């Protein structure tokens, strides 16, 4: 066979991982997985460092002996997702297979995979924060009447969350605000507040973008559909028809913003398997077959969770 499907599968896998980080609004979280050990499959090992604090120096005996331990906590990724696609041989031959497969997989990842991973991550952070009592339901609405969101009260609430974090850890720990695009637009449209917004560089994977910031804390705009507290993830088949994807749960609440230390969310996103079968190898149809499998999950360690704040539209 002329085409090297193994080589193409490897290239697709590497390209898809880079594309995912670039398109994810939460792509900056993947950088925190740098010290995570991953050898394939569902399990990852996250390093935990424990050490003793300072002790008195004794002029006779010198320094007090301290201890430092490095342990790895094993975590299991709960999101094991996949999909197979067929490209009919009459529509795709060896000469244009790469172009067509790249187009199909690129659109699939941008339209289906990226929104799902983003949504899972933000709902996961919200769930952890709610359980740790680090979330607040503000009962803010965008409708006329009631507790209408205004530029003044949004800024006050955001700064209160920032102050609560800095009161614990000081002002030197870099923070990130992941904010609903609807709420962010209110800040930008207010003449009073927009003057307090600065433009700053923000690194996400290999890409540096310019974003607004409050007190030099970058604001990452997130589509509101991806900022819910809970989602349902479909298994892929219902009533004999191939379906899939996800939707907001009926009990889901709307997230206004999430503030976390830059290094707090440990997000793992692995395209575990991309397999390509040519029409002669594919036993199911006269078509190219592409198998796509994705593992992903997110964790926040206990100490870092204390420094996270989530503001939710509805009362909790």
Residue range 9-58, pLDDT digits in tens: 676 777 777 777 788 999 999 999 887 887 777 888 887 778 888 888 88
Residue 181 included in any domain: yes
- Rounded to whole angstroms, how far apart are CA atoms 163 and 170? 9
Q: Report, as an integer, the average pLDDT of 245-252.
A: 94
Q: In angstroms, how far is the first alpha carbon of the chain from the final one?
A: 60
Q: Which residue has the tokens 């190898």?
A: 281
Alpha helices in the chain (DSSP H): 5-23, 97-108, 114-131, 151-169, 181-189, 191-194, 302-305
Looking at residue 270, its pLDDT comes to 82
Q: Report, as an integer, the average pLDDT of 127-141.
A: 81
Residue 35 included in any domain: yes
Report the sign of the C-alpha dihedral through residues 158, 161, 165, 166, in that order: positive
Residue 76 included in any domain: yes
DSSP string, 48-96: EEEE------BTTTBSPP--EEEEEEEEE--EEEEEEEEEETTT--TTT
Report the sign of the C-alpha dihedral through residues 237, 80, 118, 292, in that order: negative
- Rounded to whole angstroms, how far apart are CA atoms 210 and 9? 34
Q: Quote the percentage of the chain above a pLDDT of 90.
A: 36
CATH of the domain at 16: 3.90.1690
Domain hosting residue 194, numbered range: 5-41+72-312
- Rounded to whole angstroms, how far apart are CA atoms 31 and 76? 19
Closest by alpha carbon to 121, among 297, 269, 250, 247?
A: 297
Q: 222: pLDDT confidence band, cut at 50, 70 and 90?
A: very high
Looking at residue 39, its pLDDT comes to 77
Instruction: Give the SS3 label for residue 252.
Output: coil
Q: Find out whether 267 and 30 touch, Cβ atoms under 8 Å.
A: yes
Residue 249: φ, ψ to 5°: -70, 155
Tens of pLDDT along 62-74? 888 888 887 888 8
Residue 248 included in any domain: yes
Number of domains composing the chain: 1
């Amino acid at each position: 066979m002329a085409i090297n499907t193994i080589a193409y599968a490897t290239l697709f896998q590497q390209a898809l991982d880079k594309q995912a980080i670039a398109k994810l609004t939460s792509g900056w979280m993947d950088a925190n997985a740098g010290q995570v050990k991953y050898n394939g499959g569902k399990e990852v090992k996250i390093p935990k460092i424990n050490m003793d604090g300072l002790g008195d120096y004794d002029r006779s005996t010198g320094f007090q002996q301290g201890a430092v331990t490095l342990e790895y906590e094993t975590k299991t990724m709960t999101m094991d997702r996949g999909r197979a696609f067929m490209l009919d041989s009459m529509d795709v031959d060896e000469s244009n297979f790469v172009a067509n497969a790249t187009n199909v997989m690129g659109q699939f990842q941008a339209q289906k995979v990226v929104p799902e991973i983003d949504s899972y991550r933000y709902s996961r952070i919200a769930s952890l924060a709610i359980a740790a009592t680090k979330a607040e339901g503000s009962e803010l609405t965008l409708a006329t009447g009631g507790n209408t969101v205004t530029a003044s009260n949004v800024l006050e609430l955001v700064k209160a969350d920032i102050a609560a974090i800095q009161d614990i850890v000081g002002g030197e720990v870099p923070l990130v605000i992941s904010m609903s695009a609807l709420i962010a637009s209110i800040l930008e449209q207010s003449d009073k507040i927009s003057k307090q917004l600065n433009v700053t560089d923000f690194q996400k994977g290999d890409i540096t973008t310019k974003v607004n910031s409050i007190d030099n804390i970058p604001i990452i705009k997130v589509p509101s559909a991806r900022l819910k507290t809970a989602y349902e993830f479909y298994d892929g088949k219902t009533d004999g028809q191939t379906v899939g994807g996800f939707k907001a749960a009926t009990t889901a609440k709307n997230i206004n913003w999430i503030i976390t230390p830059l290094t707090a969310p440990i997000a793992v996103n692995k395209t575990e398997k991309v397999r390509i079968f040519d029409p002669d190898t594919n036993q199911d149809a006269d078509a190219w077959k592409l198998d796509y499998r994705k593992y992903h999950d997110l964790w926040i360690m206990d100490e870092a969770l204390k420094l996270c704040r989530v503001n939710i539209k509805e009362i909790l």
